[in-house]
């Protein structure tokens, strides 16, 4: 499967992601973070950074964007490749929270394990994981 085909698959997921309830997305993120915390890989300060993903409000905080965000077109696909496990997870959860399809490349065992955890909770909550496509060379 070539890259263009994968990108077009991800673009088709934009509407599906937009249809997800905020509570469902938050539940998936919180559950995944809880499982990742149980792996005891990160220090307390790193876990606080990871938890900021679910605590942070909307990306557009000024008043214009806050009240007019429904009119903003924020569609696209993100390519995520990061060596640092913490930054990878923060980005992954942030883009999921923003309902952006993700094409990603995992670089470490922890990233693969974390992705498996996310897929587990997506499946348990009957949410399609088609918005996450993993590519590795």
**pLDDT per residue as tens digits for the range 34-48:** 999 999 999 999 998
Residue 70: domain span:
3-134
98 confidence band (pLDDT: 50, 70, 90): confident
What's the confidence (pLDDT) of residue 67? 55
DSSP reduced 3-state for 133: strand
Q: How does pLDDT run across 47-96, given as a tens digit for each residue?
A: 988 888 877 655 555 555 555 555 555 667 889 999 999 999 999 999 99
- Structural domains in the chain (count): 1
Global pTM reads 0.81
Percent composition of the chain: helix, strand, coil (DSSP 3-state, to 5): 60, 10, 30
What's the confidence (pLDDT) of residue 86? 94
123 confidence band (pLDDT: 50, 70, 90): very high
DSSP conformation letters of 65-114: HHHHGGG------EEEE-SSHHHHHHHHHHHHHTT--EEEE--SHHHHHH
Owner of token pair 């997506």:
122
The pLDDT of residue 14 is above 90 = no
User: Which helix (H) or strand (E) is 64 found in, with range?
Assistant: helix 63-68
What's the confidence (pLDDT) of residue 1? 56
| 86 vs 10, higher pLDDT | 86
Structural tokens at position 131: 């918005």
Q: How far is the CA of 72 from the CAs of 37, 64, 68, in angstroms?
A: 35, 11, 7
Q: CATH no. for residue 88?
A: 3.40.605.10
């Amino acid at each position: 499967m070539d890259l263009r085909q994968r990108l077009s698959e991800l673009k088709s997921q934009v509407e599906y992601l937009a249809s997800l309830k905020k509570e469902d997305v938050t539940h998936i993120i919180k559950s995944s973070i809880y499982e990742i915390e149980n792996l005891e890989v990160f220090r307390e300060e790193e876990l606080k950074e990871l938890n900021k993903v679910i605590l942070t409000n909307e990306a557009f905080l000024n008043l214009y964007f806050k009240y007019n965000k429904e009119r903003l077109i924020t569609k696209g696909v993100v390519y995520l490749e990061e060596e640092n496990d913490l930054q990878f997870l923060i980005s992954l959860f942030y883009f999921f929270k923003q309902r952006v399809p993700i094409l990603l490349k995992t670089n470490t065992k922890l990233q693969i394990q974390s992705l498996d955890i996310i897929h587990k909770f997506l499946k348990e909550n009957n949410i399609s994981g088609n918005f996450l496509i993993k590519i590795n060379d």
